[in-house]
Structure 1
Amino acid sequence: MLGRLSKLINENNDKYLFEYDPLSRLVYERGFDGKEKRYQVNKLTGRLDSVTFVDQTLSFQYDIMGRMTKTTSADEVREYDYDLNGRLTLAKNPTSENQFELDALGNVLREIHSYDIFDHHVTKLWRFEYDELSNLIKTVRPDGKEVDYLRYGSGHLHGMLLDKERIVDYERDDNHREVKRHWAQDMLQTTAYDAAGRLANQHTQSGKYVKKSILNRDYQYDGANQLINIKDSRKGELSYRYDPIGRLINAKGPLGEETFSFDPAHNILSKEHSALSTYHHQVENTLPSGISKVMGNLLRHIAGSHFDYDQRGNLIKKESAKGIQTFDWDGFNQMKSSTFRGARAGSRLDTQYRYDVFGRRIGKRVVDVRTKEVLEQTLYDWYGLTIASEDRIGEQLAVQAQIRKDAHSEIRKLRSEVQYLYEDGEFVPLVQYTNSAAVGLGYGSLGGGSGGAGSSSPAVYHYVNDQIGTPQILMNADQEVVWEAQSKAWGDTIISAPVSDDGVINNHRFQGQYFDAESELHYNTFRYYDPEIGRYISLDPIGLLGGFNNYQYAPNPVEWVDPWGLSYQPVTFPPNKVIKEVVIKLQGSRGRDFAEANKLAELFGKSGNATRNAHRLKYGDVTWHHVDYNPVTNEAKMQLVTTADHEATYPHSGSVSEYEKHHGVKYDTREAKQKADELNKGKCTN
């Protein structure tokens, strides 16, 4: 059969091969690195029975309705159960069980998370409430704390409460962008945008009557709308340069100057770091002479570090000046364990990791190999795909938290339960609150109370983040900076000495990333990221859907993020790719929406009227992208973008799907148009 993809050739001339059965079902792949994957399809049902990736096989079982009920690897079984409506109600593996109670609309009312980790059994109960538009308005967390979400319109957030006490209030402009953020302790953050809609300034201040500046950041862009300069009142000036396709080749800041080069397939080939010096222009060559391409995207060496991989493309050994690290992986390509043998004698750590049925990490244990002592043990609980809390026990944490210990006193184990709140529907940390106490040397249950024996009232700390959501500082209730960091371009972070010694630990880095002190890697939900080399250490679980280079983090770390470790995305729809932006009354069909958008954008066809295709007459191969929807006003934001960018980058679950959901009609039908006419009181574009 014609039209099936059989070969893909990347920029390094590596080949990716595909084979199909007579019914055009994919049965074989050979990746750019030469590694093979085979798919076994059931001849009767057409469902996938198994996937074999070199030395590992995953098998799948289904019920009579075709729903997956079991996934099996060599070392784990995952099981799933559903209600009569086909909605997931139970998911479990050997270390976890997740139960879901849903309402008639499919909203989750209760979640019960049960964990069996490192000889501890823990149960966490979550409860949720929604408004009539199915927007989340209340969460009762496992520690008993209530979080209220105050909304307006179609669900835009204007405030959050923790146990009826204000955590944050927002003020927004006409486009619902945040312009002011009021924290509970008389702290204020203002956000300003330039005429092109780009972030221009963030200013954090404290004080009830007379405001004191805490952090001020100004942003500057080049002619291609790329961020090139940040003036930071605490750190100084940061500048960035890019190659012609938007990859970061130079970053200059308080930690020095970094330069990077890439091969054609976007692998970082070299990185250089130097102390600050007078700027001098360099030729923007991203493929230096004498440096070969990274064949199969398997990076073997860079900047004095050397890497080895297993047959599935997972990193199994890293040698650097710091020491030797090894990594072991399970049948789902999740890191089971890591070891570190330091360059200095006697330094060796062994860490075990545990995951739930959805692949989210729920526990780790760090052991000193020489003494056999457990240095650190952490249990994680999740809200969706964000870490909601962590229960910590360990001497190592006490050191990180800068708890002073007398050399002759008893070694203490720090016990703390840290809870996290995030920006609404995002992966950007907003608040952490915590209880901490020194407890005995024994390890008790890590269970679902609010801090355990000896805990005190929770202390609340507010995050101040940069343009991509990376924490810059944490502030306490006294409006003091208790944690501060400086980072190199690809996320390697240095913690600054805090003004106040609150013993605060923050492991959040880039969006969705969590710093592991034992490996110096960033846990990134479904993968691990190495900030020293700016790339992942295992293949992308979603394969080519995440991009042709399965190890790439992003084109640049200044404007892009990857919260799940699956597929990078711009922090917002990139302004340089948005040609026009208007707010329209939805008309019930895309053609009529386009005509309405063209009228407001003053784009006219040859007849002089704002026709449905007038935008193409002026700009060529472009389209209007539906962004968000307000069912109360029937208004939606429309962005004019290139067709290529729309298909490759922008999400397609915007205002059209929201319109269908809220009004129960299929878009582009007579019923949808009639509904729009009713909502618009007969005032619509024909």
Structure 2
Amino acid sequence: AAQTRSFSYVVSRGWLASETHPENGLTQYAYTTEGLLYTKTDAKGTVTRYRYDSLHRVLGVRYDPNAFDDVSFTYDNPTEIGRLKQVDKWNATGSFVTDRHIYGYDGMGRMTSESLVHWDASGPSTFVLSALYQYNNKLGNLTQITYPNPQTGGARRTLNLTYNALGRLTTIHNFYNGTTGVAPDFDVVSGVSYNVGGTVDSFTYGNGLVENRTYDANRVQLTNLKVTNPSPASTIMDFSYLYTDANGKNNGQLQQATDNVDTTRTQQYSYDSLVRLSQFKLGPIGSPSTTMNFTYDPYGNRTAQATIGPGPTMNLTYDSATNRITTTGYGYDLNGNLTNAPSSTVYAYDLGNRLTSVTVGATVQGSYTYNGMGLRISKTVGTTQTFYFHTQVGLLGEYQRPAGTTQVPSITKEYVYRGRQALATIASGAWTYNHMDRLGSTRKLTDGNRNVIITRDYYPFGEESASTSNNEKKFTGYYRDQESNLDYALNRYYRSDLGRFMATDPFNIGSIQLPCGSKGSGFPAMSVPDLLSNSAQIFNLYAYVTNDSVNKIDPFGYMPNFCDAQYSYEDCFGVTPWGNIGESRSSTRERLLFNFYLNYGIRPRRPSQIRRLLEFINCFRRLYQEANTKPEWNVPDHARDKMQHCWVGCELINTCGAGWGTVGLAAIGKEVLDLFLPGHTSEVADAIATTVGIPCSLDPAGCVACCERHGY
């Protein structure tokens, strides 16, 4: 039977009025006269209402029948015009704020602080978590991070970040309270080296272990990832990756991952005609200990996982009209959320379709709350409540207190990132280092003395095949909850044993047509034609990365084809927060790529194109560095000061522009300027001068003469 997805639109306006999907039924939309989303009504009849200011920014979001905002937003402090300043999450009756996120910025629009203020009741706040950031120059490299400590007067971890001449991260140094010499005072990461394409070749962990990477010379695919101990010489982890199939073809799909330390852990993969994983073998080549065969229905639902040898098996039936599991014990609500599973397991959700509790029989295994941006902020398991501090860098730390109390929590874990990799974890003062494979899955953990304390292997969809201990950072970097065995994917939860998500994908052919203000944080920018250009398997709103879990990951719980893992973990997870431009987490690379697409129709799709974009940005940097060496162009408050910017704009095309085209370069140059020079009057003048210089690239008289004719 065919599945139908239907859409209707406001007559003469083209606004999406309704969408119907097999998985979550009918969703209806209403708009203001300006085209702003006013209400959203889901299949359960829950009405979400949006409130805006005169500049069309969202001020509040509430769920009927509440007469108050569930979430409210504040903008425009005097020194932070146009920027989001505060996000408040209100309690169930709207009588007081439970969690407030506050953001601070410098004059260039860079985030200098972000704080979480928590209330257990009306009145004074219970505790505050606050992170601080420092930057080095106009290009905005993040140079220092100060971690929070909820305990008054408690020591605060500080990280200093240093870069090479191209603005690439080379060292992360740890100390306390902003004072070097306060133990532990050491490099968590050092000696980061890069190849000509800007991809990491090697670096040294804080315990002295060294990671080296090798890439295919033509396709820049990661072919070897090795972690070694230089003294005494030994190999901790060594994976070789083969992409060429039996016919000698390399279509980007991994065929074999050889464990050179233990060949019994070598893995082989086969795929069907729809590029879905069809077979997995574990063990030595020719004599695997485990073989798994996967089958799917026409809509991308995995119906069977037939296993020969040790390993889990699975057989499920589905409703072909809804893609929901119909096997005994499973159940869903009208919005398509998985509510029941075998062993009397019950999943509860809030009005925003976020998981709020997991119950088995009569016992609540875990309960969860979320902040105004939809990120999980706390978890209660048994007698312990854990708070999470999500920042622009990532999850900085975890803080615990006895459940049911109003005590100020204490630090239990902190994380140090290189890119989006949680490279190190600190718990009770003890450092452990996470060593990950090409997907970002934790495979080894070592302590400060270079001892392997955890070894971990996975079946293709994330089930663990071997583990010597437990920690939360597991499959593709997801946070796995021990109480439920669910992976927290930021925007929904993933069940590795089912190989599918618990709730429908917020990113789909309907939601991408909505106004930007009503979309979630980090929502990918993509048009309907762009989405339709993908495999039809992408329409299944439960499937994990179109069932190609060996080559793709989904770091945000959005959009299966959002990232291709064959090149390296950094290419999948976006720009390293401390690598190229210095904005953290998703903001830099994804902002660039999405803004190019939205504003100019330019969307680099492959990691090689993304790498070219970053090479262009580094070329842009080098031009400014060269211009800054000319004293006659660096006279304060003088037109000659703008000469360097005009010249850079001109040379931007001539020097950095191979393969992009003039229109594309002009767009990219403008977007880079928007990122680098936002808001300040002097920077606006610099940006204008650079923009003037772009057409000078076509002037036969040359860049200097052309810029001089423009009065510089």
Q: Tell me the TM-score normalised to structure 1 length.
A: 0.71
Match of 2:28, as an amino acid? Answer: R
Residue correspondence of structure 1 range 227-266 to structure 2 within 5 A: 227-232=254-259, 233-234=261-262, 236-253=265-282, 256-266=290-300
List per-residue Cα deviations over 1:29-50 (Å, max 9, x = no partner). Answer: 222347111112123x432211
Q: Which residue of 1 aligns with 2:17?
A: 27
Q: 2: CA distance between counterparts of 1:638 and 1:51?
A: 46
In 2, are the aligned partners of 1:626 and 1:655 still within 8 Å (CA)?
no
Q: Are 2:391 and 1:380 aligned?
A: no
Pairing partner for 2:490 from 525, 538, 542? 525
- CA deviation after TM superposition for structure 1 residue 12, in Å: 4.3
Q: Are 2:349 and 1:329 aligned?
A: yes
Q: Which residue of 2 aligns with 1:422?
A: 417
Change (3 A) 1:512 1:97: farther
List per-residue Cα deviations over 1:12-33 (Å, max 9, x = no partner). Answer: 4323232323422222222234
Q: Are 2:131 and 1:139 aligned?
A: no
In 1, are the aligned partners of 2:508 and 2:559 still within 8 Å (CA)?
no
In 1, are the aligned partners of 2:301 and 2:318 still within 8 Å (CA)?
no
List per-residue Cα deviations over 1:357-394 (Å, max 9, x = no partner). Answer: 11111111124xxxxxx3x4321111237322112468
Q: 2: CA distance between counterparts of 1:251 and 1:106?
A: 48
Change (3 A) 1:185 1:366: closer
Q: 2: CA distance between counterparts of 1:263 and 1:639?
A: 42
Q: 2: CA distance between counterparts of 1:250 and 1:264?
A: 18
Change (3 A) 1:509 1:681: farther
Q: Are 2:217 and 1:195 aligned?
A: yes
Q: 2: CA distance between counterparts of 1:683 and 1:506?
A: 62
Q: 1: CA distance between counterparts of 2:308 and 2:121?
A: 44
Match of 1:36, as an amino acid? Answer: L
Q: 1: CA distance between counterparts of 2:559 and 2:391?
A: 20
Alignment RMSD: 3.7
Change (3 A) 1:661 1:15: closer
Q: Which has the higher contact order (CA 8 A, sep 6+)?
A: 2
Pairing partner for 1:271 from 284, 296, 305? 305
Match of 1:125, as an amino acid? Answer: S
Q: Which residue of 1 aligns with 2:325?
A: 299
Change (3 A) 1:225 1:155: same
List per-residue Cα deviations over 1:497-528 (Å, max 9, x = no partner). Answer: 26xxxxxx520123452111222111111100
Residue correspondence of structure 1 range 434-513 to structure 2 within 5 A: 434-435=427-428, 458-494=429-465, 496-497=467-468, 505-513=470-478
Q: Are 2:143 and 1:148 aligned?
A: no
Specify which structure has the higher proportion of strand: 1
Match of 1:475, as an amino acid? Answer: T
Match of 1:332, as an amino acid? Answer: G
Q: Are 2:355 and 1:390 aligned?
A: no
Specify which structure has the higher proportion of helix: 2
Q: Which residue of 1 aligns with 2:237?
A: 215
Pairing partner for 1:114 from 117, 140, 161? 117
Deviates more, 1:666-675 or 1:414-423: 666-675
Pairing partner for 1:175 from 197, 200, 207? 197
Q: Which residue of 2 aligns with 1:166?
A: 187
Q: 1: CA distance between counterparts of 2:202 and 2:334?
A: 51
- CA deviation after TM superposition for structure 1 residue 273, in Å: 2.2
- CA deviation after TM superposition for structure 1 residue 256, in Å: 2.5
Q: Which residue of 2 aligns with 1:536?
A: 501
Q: Tell me the TM-score normalised to structure 2 length.
A: 0.69
Q: Which residue of 1 aligns with 2:586?
A: none
Q: 2: CA distance between counterparts of 1:677 and 1:465?
A: 50
Q: 2: CA distance between counterparts of 1:115 and 1:682?
A: 56
Change (3 A) 1:332 1:468: same
Q: 2: CA distance between counterparts of 1:167 and 1:624?
A: 28
| Secondary structure of 1:295's aligned partner | coil
Q: Which residue of 1 aligns with 2:129?
A: 124
* Ranges in structure 2 where 5+ consecutive residues have no aligned partner: 91-97, 150-155, 176-184, 284-288, 404-408, 513-523, 525-537, 572-607, 624-654, 678-685, 707-712
**Count of residues in correspondence between the two structures:** 540
In 1, are the aligned partners of 2:210 and 2:227 still within 8 Å (CA)?
yes
In 1, are the aligned partners of 2:88 and 2:101 still within 8 Å (CA)?
yes
Match of 2:170, as an amino acid? Answer: H
Q: Which residue of 2 aligns with 1:600?
A: none
Identity of aligned residues (%): 20
- CA deviation after TM superposition for structure 1 residue 257, in Å: 2.2
Q: 1: CA distance between counterparts of 2:114 and 2:55?
A: 25
Q: 2: CA distance between counterparts of 1:573 and 1:131?
A: 33
- CA deviation after TM superposition for structure 1 residue 248, in Å: 0.9
